[in-house]
Structure 1
Amino acid sequence: MYTLLIVDDEASVVEGLAHTIPWQKIGIDEVRKAYSAFEALEILQTQPVDIMISDITMPRMNGLELVEITKSRWKNMKTILLSGYADFAYAKEAITLGTYEYLLKPVSDEVVLEKVGGAVESLRQERESSETYNRAVQAFRVNLPHIRGEFLNQLLQGMKSPKNVWAEKLELLEMKSAIGNQAALMLVRMEDRLTEMSPYDSSIMEYAIGNMADEIFGERFRLWRCRDIHGYLVFFVFESDDSAAGMHPHKHTEENELKHFAAQLQMNVSRYLKGTISVLIGKRGSFPEDVRKLYQDSLFALRRHIGSHSDMFVYAEDEEELHPVRSLQKCYEPPLLPHLLESGSWKQIQEKLEQILKELSLAHSQSQEHVIEAFFFIYSSLSAYAHKNGRSLADIVGASLADVTGLSQCTTAATLGKWVGQVLPLLESSAEQATRSDRSAAVSRMKRFIRDHLSQDISLQAIADHMYMHPVHVSRLFKMETGFNVSDYVLRLKMEQAAELLGDHSLKNFEIALKLGYHNPNYFIRVFKKYYSVTPQEYRNSLETGMP
């Protein structure tokens, strides 16, 4: 419910508006009265008001001056100005001040009620919008740790973005200060009893370990964590703001603290959670540019130094380059080729393949193994796409291009590029043909439904219900496939059948109209004449005389 304030130096106007109009009808449950602008300000300062109706011409302070003051103090209040002067200058100034309405006296109670009702509805929509926004903000705040984890996981998988996009995303996640800072990566692998838990219990354990890490590292470092695709807990460890200011300048001290805190985390998990973890602290790098490389190096170090053992701690910061031979990064960075194929994003598919081939030619053109790696990655992705669509790859691209005997397609990076250039257009063409075929089949079903129900009043909604589609989609699909609207097709069928039925002299015109779903014979005659330029009877006569 809303509160209304009526302001006018004429008491009769105030009393009349306050007591003769059914304000409750539009949601006004309380009406307050002021007989001057100064009295109105006193009320506004002590009591809530949602809508104010004010006269313009008042002594000492007029309505425009009052609105100018209220707009700066009570921004959400709606104001309606009344004036007995049909003066455009008043209206122009009222609009400039942002008044909701400007009414000229005399004005009827119905108009006042209508305008105030509009202000009430406007306030209601604003409040609902504000409440929705606040709920969304609250939900975002509650889920912020999870959203941060999801974003960090995308970085681990190699997601790329321009620097300005990084800045915007990290600012939204309240992690903008991490940009450009050095960070160490810490991997935590849950083991033994912790791996045997249900997904629910495992999630609780991850949360508990994360909280423990925050408490142990918190005074000295800032942590950003997520769970990766292997089930490992990945922590990026940043220096705290105090550290960045120079309170802990010695790198050796920082390394010792990292080792100490990591060991403390391992011990606390064992003591309080009765579980076993292995911890690896990897190399340092710049955030977010080095995230992918730090992660891959840490995974390699974990496999190399820990392997299948448990309850291990490794500090890999001082190691030399662990694996000089690297895999093709573009193959495994999102968006992944299999996902792009599933979505049918052919432009992005082409760009992805071009990126893979470019990396291959620039960094690994002399490596036969890398060429083969790229070929089988692409070949398996294309094969999986074909199989998900109920076909073999050979059916789509031909037996020769699908044949891997001898691996002739991947003898060099150039031959692989040539093979991709031959295969991709065939795949895209096949997909487009399948889409056209499905579209054609759907439109054929629509046409059959229309023909079977021609004697009824066929509507777009009825066709949509039959097809389990939205009416707009039905309309677009039909127009795309046939080149004309559903209504035009229905009319054509009805008129063609009408012309055929008119050849049966035993049928009356009204009977033909009913057979075609026209319950008003006169309307049928008008439609027929508009279509054929002659009436049904004139058409029938022309059939008898043999004249067109």
Structure 2
Amino acid sequence: MYRLLIVDDEQIITDGLFEVFSKLDLELDIYKAYSGQEALQWLNRTRFDIVLSDISMPGMDGLALMEAIRRSWPRCKVVFLTGFNDFEYVYQAIQHPGVKYLLKSEGYPKVIDAVKQSVKEVEDELQIHDLLQQSRAHRDTIETLAQSNYFRNFLFDAPKDETVREDFRRLNVRLDHEAPVLVALASLTHTDGKPSHAYRQDRALTVKMLSDSFFAGQATCVGFIDRYDDLVWLVQPISSRTHEETVRYLEGMFELVQQACLDSLETTVTVALADEPAAWDRISSVYEKLRERQHYRAGDGTRMIQRVLLKESDPFPSLRERSPRDKAEALTVLLESGRKEEFLEVFDELAEPVRTGRAGAAYLTELYYTIALLLFSYVNRWELREKVSAEGLMQAELYPSWSERFAYLRDTAAAIFSLRQSGEQNRAAAAIDKICAYVEEHIGEDLSLVRLAEVIHFNPSYLSRLFKLERGVNLSEYIEETRLAAAKEMLRKGELKISEVGAKVGYEAAHSFTRFFKKWTGLTPQDYRDGIRT
């Protein structure tokens, strides 16, 4: 879903355009502002894809607003509304490529067409093949792979400070080894069957290249593929951006990356992003914390971007112990990434000697305890001991035959995956319950998708999708129904004026409250109140 911001200092124009676009089936998340300064506040909170703005406004005019847009969201499309006397403004605006301008007198159809055209331009720019064509000229495969290998090892065995500078120079890493870095972790899920390791690596590299094209010029970053075929980014802001601005920018750009990957690669991307930079000696701990938050996500996490609050998080976990055997390494990766079907398939392949009887007791004992240990470790780390019967994992002698022993391991693994899925569903329900409670408690305040996403630290697009999945209605519909119920209750009590009731449910303008109420009930607020009294 793309975001449209409507800006005009004349409230009747802003509200009129807001209502027109709200009724169209354009899949736009629409916001409004009554001044350039108010628009700037929105732009400082989240990404916008299209800004429809008056060009001549008091205080901050459209041109000044456009410069702010270019600094924060360079891919945002700008459509200016002008009057007949705005020639000087228009002359300056047309010096900037990609800016559209319309006369206010041309009417709504022209404005709608301009916004639709801007939506099409945003979609076209997300076509991954065009973006990859632009980035291939800058791609050096050997350098990318060398950096990935280096930083994979860095996560588990960071080199000494005196060697990092030379390592960065040799590998052409453009990060400052003395400055803190933001860490982001992206997990990829593919819809086309069970991809091979090479396929997953290739897709991860493609997503990395795509992301680099979005981040170029706005942040200094290195992306690499970790041992689970997920992507990790280490990011430092350019000099003109604060860390907070960089985090907000990354959230916005990752949403575009998600859309491009879904449309062109049939790949979904889930992102966990640290909310603040960390020193290099804490990178491993931050990475582990992001992996933990990916595990404790709400819902299935598909296309989710979660900001992880490091200061409010639990103490950083210690680094995972590596699996003692190469054959079990694949199971570890699949268990950690929640890929149940692939896990069970690999498990059955490893347990094949049990069925055929082609392996001796020593091999089967080692294999049993290798798998039992990774399951036992998982149960301990995620505190599942009260939900999964794991006491017998390290006591193979409790089961009389190898077939029963490995059947027990398989059943335990299946139970772990089921618990993980139910946990995701429970956390999704809890997150949505929190949103519903917030709406009810702040019914007269800002209940925009951006504000509600800030409450639970999700990105707005994911919150919208998760709410619909959990409650079966759009979040905007739920908010309107809640406002309507609150308004009816206050109108029945008769203690407040109608304008006061409207203000208490979020409608400062009386005519806006009247339109809203009549849309849902067929009555004006006054008619509704009079009907109760008779």
TM-score range, shorter chain: 0.3 to 0.5
**Which fold has the larger relative contact order, with Cα–Cα distance below 8 Å and residues 6 or more apart in sequence?**
2
State the TM-score, normalized to the length of structure 1: 0.41
State the TM-score, normalized to the length of structure 2: 0.41
